[in-house]
Amino acid sequence: MSLFLDAANGANTPRPPIWIMRQAGRYLPEYRALKERYSFWELCRTPELAAEITLQPIRRFGLDAAILFQDIMTPLPPMGLEIDFIPGPVFKTPVRDAEAVEKLVIPDRDEIAPYVAEAIRLIRAESPVPLIGFGGAPLTLATYAVQGGGSKDYDEFRQFLRYAPETAHALLEKLTEVSVRYLKLQVDAGAQAIQLFDSWAGLHDARTYREFAKPYNTRIFEALEDYGVPRLYIAVDALHLYGEIKDLPCEVVSVDWRTPLSQVRPLLPGKVLQGNLDPAVLLAPEKVMKEEAERVLRAGLGGPHIFNLGHGIMRQTYPERVTQLVQVVRAFDRTEVAERV
Ligand code: CP3
């Protein structure tokens, strides 16, 4: 076993394991060097490159888990959606009506992304730490597919949910089925945990979440039940949804930086908490960063904890800060501090 898998399965480990959302990416010079030679999709679709990028932060920092280098958009082009990255995803033709949903293909499992299975096998052969696979939650994938790309308030998508709820459900159905196939493919290839990214769930009120997100997330997690891998979930800015999220059949909930873990703990009984340093704190001076990281470590006491940021690492972050952060987390002794409290 490993510190990460132990904590993800509910153990109160002597210190929390640490990994970082978006730990592979543009803040690393070795990633930028590859990005100069290849497009984002080329990096994703070439198993050797995807494996290399996944392992870059592992070699550099001594993190406790690797996360597969791909994007939540990876399974969508085989459904018939053309997507460019500039640098966020942009859909050539957004999905706006029943006919467009009807046309979406549900590919066979082995046609979704064979290169992902190959990348996972390459990573497993080399990685000293467990590998986390991942996918986008159906509501978040639908948000991008309907809006057509990133947006300030996702107005098109939120209008679509109200004008065409049945079409929205048909779209969510298809995205759920493809996600289940895609995540099973990752676990079969060797992924040792799965995180579902529901980045935009927090836009909605609890009623809307209950109708358009919860049943689909539940189905995905239930489909993975027999695979025996820990299931992780993140919704950002979603404190108002924890009354629903607490029921999801997953082991771990990742919490953003807005609320201390000690306040979240009673809202999510039985869940492992992951998080939740503000990514902006990695832009602060070393001393400030250390104090803030220790505050998160102490707030995480009282139950199983996986240390992470509250959302993805920022592009301007100095890699050195991550080195220092890993040192702080590794030096923390949960048993000792718990006795002192
Ligand atoms: O965490 C990792 O290191 C694994 C790789 C990973 C990427 N995207 C690579 C990537 C993961 C886990 C994701 C998830 C993802 N992608 C999410 C969910 C997490 C979140 O942030 O809420 C979302 C919403 C996306 C969609 C997406 N892809 C966006 C919004 C962007 C632009 C990001 C930005 O910072 O501008 C991307 C592109 C992307 N995905 C990059 C990387 C490394 C940058 C591409 C580049 O190099 O130009």
In tens, the pLDDT along 70-79 reads 999 999 999 9
| Nearest protein Cα to ligand 1, atom 24 | 199
Q: What is the mean pLDDT of residues 310-327?
A: 98
pLDDT bucket at 341, cuts 50 / 70 / 90: low
Which atom of ligand 1 lies nearest, measured to the CA of 68?
Answer: 4
Split at pLDDT 50, 70, 90, the class of 324 is very high
- Smallest CA separation from ligand 1 atom 43, residue: 25
Count Cβ atoms below 10 Å from residue 249 Cβ, excluding itself. 15
Look at residue 161 in the predicted model and tell me its pLDDT: 97
| CA 22 to ligand 1 center in whole angstroms | 7
Give residue-wise pLDDT tens across range 181-202: 999 999 999 999 999 999 999 9
Q: Which of ligand 1's atoms lies nearest the C-alpha of 43?
A: 47
- How far is residue 233's CA from residue 202's CA, in Å, rounded to a whole number? 13
340 pLDDT exceeds 70? no
0.85 exceeded by pTM:
yes
pLDDT given for residue 1 in this prediction? 77
Q: How far apart are CA 208 and CA 228, in angstroms?
A: 30
Nearest to 308 by CA among 132, 121, 160: 132
The residue-averaged pLDDT of 75-97 equals: 97
Q: To test the ligand 1 pocket, which listed residue (71, 127, 157, 256) has its Cβ within 8 A of the most ligand atoms?
A: 71
pLDDT in tens, 206-242: 999 999 999 999 999 999 999 999 999 999 999 999 9
Distance CA 168, CA 211 (A): 11
**100 burial class (0-12, 13-18, 19+ CB within 10 angstroms)?**
middle
Q: Answer yes or no: is pLDDT of 336 > 90.
A: no
Average pLDDT (274-300) is: 98
331 C-alpha to ligand 1 centroid (Å): 30
Q: Which amino acids bring their CB within 6 angstroms of ligand 1?
A: 21-26, 35, 40, 67, 69, 71-72, 85, 87-89, 134, 150, 197, 199, 312
Question: Which ligand 1 atom sits closest to the C-alpha of 54?
Answer: 3
Question: For residue 231, what is the DSSP state?
Answer: E
Burial label for 247, CB within 10 Å (0-12, 13-18, 19+), is exposed
Q: What is the pLDDT of residues 14-29, one digit of tens each?
A: 999 999 999 999 999 9
Residue 196's pLDDT is 98
At 267 the pLDDT is 98
